Structure formats: structure tokens, C-alpha cells
């Protein structure tokens, strides 16, 4: 009897194997086609907290709204915008008339409405901009009224069921959001690690600048060198821009983005191999000696060979394993922005890491 059951099990496994293989092949074909029917996007901006952040966040939202159609292919009727407060809402309505106030209820409601409209071959993007604070094991996204934590957001996002799903969380302490949000086929980006980085983030402003073609350091390009322009390139360009902004003001980088697109709930710093090599500093004693010997020399010109080598450092190998973070992101195709000259920065538009207007940023710079 036992032998008969074993033979039946083997027979069923052999019959079922081709069907399973066909299913896997179909999933891979859908992924590598890189095409979706419609892209819908939800842009949520939480409470700004003060005038400086209101101006910065409003400008970031305007850039994302203005570039969403060209870069992401999101038509205006498929874009939902939630503003941090009424003052921000009044400004953003000139760019997108159907702009509402961002609350816990409007966020959950907007996700539910998107879930009802999405088809199997559609795409859904969600971008969060704002402040957050820890509350026990929770990361609370600060909005008008009751704040929203990662568990509540993940519960609402569970209704999203479509081919392409992107959740880009640019707020502090966003690393906590990866595990509850993770699922196969979903791309999640957070600005920070889970429990180590609490200060204001540069990511929303860098992302908006890259999308708008107004980045100061790194344009949106085929950074991984696979011959296409993809979500991975947008992620890499944003992080290269962030790194260069911190280095430009000689500050320790206080945010390290995480990417999870293999569904295991663990983010990876996929950008790390792409970051430019930092040249080694000279010995402080040698510097002082050189200054004594040549007091009239004020500026040291860098060696041209070193500059060229930094610019032409070899690209890391392509991410070709489906088990690695970054692979799925290579097959989410986007387009180049309409490049414009970057605008000069006003005092209120300085990098988050450069200012000390609130306690969190003071901690970062101390």
C-alpha cells in the first residue's frame, strides 16, 4: 500500500512539473517584458512642521508632479496628490488640481481606490515625503490628525495587486516599513536603515531633482550599464546625488537607502558598489609641513589623473540573479527627464544635512 502511494505521488509530481515550469516561465516573461498597461501613482506629503520644510517639500512635490508623465508615464488622471497642509495644498493645486490634504484616512482611502481600479497588467507607485518619529517598535508617519504607522500602511497596501508595485518611502526611520510591506513582485525603497537613522533625510529632494532633470551632481542615466533606463538607474542616480551632496558640505552621511525587490523583507544597499571611491586624505602632519614651506599657496589643484580615474572607475557587474535585490528593478522601464539647468539654492533650499533648523538636524551635524 505504501509503495502504491509513493508511485502515485511520483506520477502526480511528473504531471504537475510542466505546468509549474510554464507558470515560472510566464512570470519571468512578464517581468522581462518591462511593459505595463497603465501606471498610477499616489504622492503623499506629510506635515511639513515649519516654513522651511514646507517650502522644500512643496518644491519636491512640484518637481515630481511635473516630471511624472515624462519620466514614469503617469498620466495626470492617474495621479493622486495628498498635501501636508492647506498652505501646501493651495500651491500644489496649480500643478495638480485634484490635491487633497494628507491624513491617515485619505492615505488609506486613496490606496483602496487605486486597488479597485488597478488591472493585473497595471502599475502602482506610491511615494511618501515627510517627517516621522519612533513610537516603541513603530515608525509613525506624521500627517494631519492621527499619524500612520508601518503596520497600518502595509495592511492597506495588501489590497494592491498588479504586475508592477513600487513603494518609495523617503522619510526618516523608514527602514522599519520594509518587512511588513514586503511581498514577491514588490519593489520597496526606504531612505534609511530600520533603527539607526532618525534625522531629516535628503532623499526626497534628491529624488525630485533627478526626476526633474535638475540634479546638481548626478543626472538620470543608464548607470548600471545594461543598455536600458530603469527603476534601478533612478534609485542609483538618487543615491549618488545624495552622497555627493553630503560630501560637498563635508558632512558624515546620516542616511543609507535600502532596496528590497526580491520579497524577502530585508533591504540592501545596492548603491554601494556604484558610489565613487573616496580618495585617501593626506597625513595632517604633511599638510602642515607643506603649508609652512609654501605659505603663498592657497589652493591645491587636484591631480588630473586622479579625477579621470574617479570618473572612469569600472562599473560593477550586472545584477543577473533573481534572488538578489536590484534584479527586478532593472525591468521597470522609465524615460529620461527634460533636462534643465539647476536652479540656484536659496537659504531655505539648502540640503537637509546642511541646515540646523530643528533638533533632528542639529543631531546630524553635531
Task: Specify the pLDDT at position 300.
Answer: 44
Helical residues (DSSP H) of 260-327, grouped into ranges: 284-293, 304-311
Task: Specify the pLDDT at position 327.
Answer: 98
> DSSP labels for 310-326?
HHTPPPPPP---TTSTT
How high does pLDDT run on average in the chain?
Answer: 83
At 6, the pLDDT band (50, 70, 90 cuts) reads very low
**Sign of the Cα pseudo-torsion (195, 196, 198, 201, in order):** negative
| Phi, then psi, of 355 in degrees rounded to 5 | -105, 160
Locate cell 505595463: which residue? 36
**Sign of the Cα pseudo-torsion (339, 82, 242, 167, in order):** negative
Q: What is the pLDDT of residues 337-347, one digit of tens each?
A: 987 655 555 44
Cell of 178: 520594509
262 vs 16: CA distance, rounded Å? 25
Task: Specify the pLDDT at position 343.
Answer: 52
Q: Nearest-CA neighbor of 102 among 61, 158, 161? A: 61
Helical residues (DSSP H) of the chain, grouped into ranges: 2-33, 51-67, 86-92, 104-117, 150-157, 178-181, 203-212, 231-248, 284-293, 304-311, 359-365
Mean pLDDT of 211-225: 97
Task: Specify the pLDDT at position 92.
Answer: 98
Mean pLDDT of 333-354: 65
CA 141 distance to own-chain centroid: 16
Q: What is the pLDDT of residues 226-239, one digit of tens each?
A: 999 999 999 999 99
85 vs 180: CA distance, rounded Å? 28
292 vs 277: CA distance, rounded Å? 30
345 vs 245: CA distance, rounded Å? 13
Taking domain 39-280+316-365, whether its CATH number is 3.40.50.1460 is answered by: yes
Choose between 168 and 340: higher pLDDT: 168
180 vs 192: CA distance, rounded Å? 16
- What is the DSSP secondary structure assignment for residue 71, as one 8-state letter? I
Q: What is the pLDDT of residues 63-95, one digit of tens each?
A: 999 999 999 999 999 999 999 999 999 999 999
Q: Of the given ranges (8-12, 136-140, 326-330), which has the lowest mean pLDDT?
A: 8-12
Predicted model pTM = 0.81
Does pLDDT of 349 surpass 50?
no
Instruction: Give, for 187, the enclosing helix (H) or strand (E).
Output: strand 186-190
Would you tell me how many other CB atoms lie within 10 Å of the CB of residue 290? 13
Q: What is the pLDDT of residues 277-313, one digit of tens each?
A: 876 654 444 544 454 444 444 444 444 444 334 456 7
Amino acid at each position: 500500500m505504501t509503495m502504491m502511494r509513493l508511485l502515485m505521488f511520483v506520477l502526480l509530481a511528473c504531471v504537475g512539473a510542466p505546468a509549474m515550469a510554464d507558470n515560472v516561465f510566464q512570470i519571468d516573461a512578464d517581468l522581462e517584458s518591462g511593459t505595463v498597461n497603465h501606471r498610477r501613482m499616489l504622492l503623499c506629503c506629510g506635515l511639513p512642521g515649519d516654513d522651511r520644510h514646507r517650502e522644500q517639500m512643496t518644491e519636491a512635490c512640484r518637481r515630481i508632479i511635473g516630471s511624472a508623465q515624462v519620466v514614469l508615464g503617469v498620466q495626470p488622471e492617474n495621479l493622486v496628490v495628498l498635501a501636508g497642509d492647506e498652505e501646501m495644498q493651495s500651491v500644489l493645486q496649480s500643478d495638480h488640481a485634484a490635491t487633497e490634504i494628507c491624513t491617515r484616512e485619505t492615505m488609506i482611502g486613496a490606496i483602496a481606490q487605486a486597488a479597485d481600479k488597478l488591472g493585473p497588467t497595471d502599475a502602482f507607485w506610491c511615494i511618501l515625503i515627510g517627517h516621522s518619529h519612533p513610537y516603541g517598535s513603530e515608525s509613525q508617519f506624521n500627517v494631519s490628525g492621527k499619524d500612520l504607522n508601518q503596520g497600518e500602511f502595509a495592511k492597506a497596501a495588501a489590497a494592491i495587486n498588479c504586475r508592477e508595485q513600487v513603494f518609495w518611502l523617503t522619510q526618516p526611520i523608514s527602514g522599519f516599513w520594509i518587512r511588513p510591506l514586503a511581498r514577491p513582485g514588490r519593489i520597496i525603497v526606504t531612505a534609511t536603515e530600520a533603527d539607526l537613522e532618525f534625522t531629516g533625510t535628503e532623499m526626497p529632494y534628491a529624488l525630485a531633482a533627478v526626476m526633474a532633470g535638475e540634479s546638481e551632481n548626478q543626472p538620470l542615466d543608464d548607470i548600471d550599464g545594461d543598455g536600458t533606463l530603469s527603476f534601478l538607474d533612478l534609485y542609483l542616480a538618487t543615491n549618488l546625488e545624495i552622497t555627493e551632496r553630503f560630501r560637498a558640505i563635508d558632512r558624515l552621511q546620516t542616511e543609507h537607502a535600502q532596496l528590497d525587490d526580491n520579497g524577502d523583507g530585508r533591504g540592501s544597499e545596492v548603491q554601494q558598489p556604484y558610489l565613487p571611491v573616496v580618495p585617501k586624505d593626506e597625513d595632517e602632519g604633511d599638510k602642515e609641513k607643506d603649508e609652512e614651506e609654501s605659505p603663498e599657496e592657497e589652493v591645491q589643484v587636484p591631480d588630473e589623473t586622479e579625477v579621470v580615474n574617479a570618473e572612469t572607475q569600472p562599473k560593477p557587474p550586472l545584477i543577473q540573479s533573481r534572488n538578489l535585490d536590484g534584479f527586478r528593478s532593472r525591468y521597470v522601464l522609465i524615460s529620461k527627464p527634460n533636462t534643465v539647468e539647476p536652479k540656484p539654492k536659496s537659504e531655505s533650499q539648502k540640503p537637509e544635512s546642511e541646515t540646523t533648523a530643528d533638533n533632528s538636524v542639529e543631531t546630524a551635524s553635531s
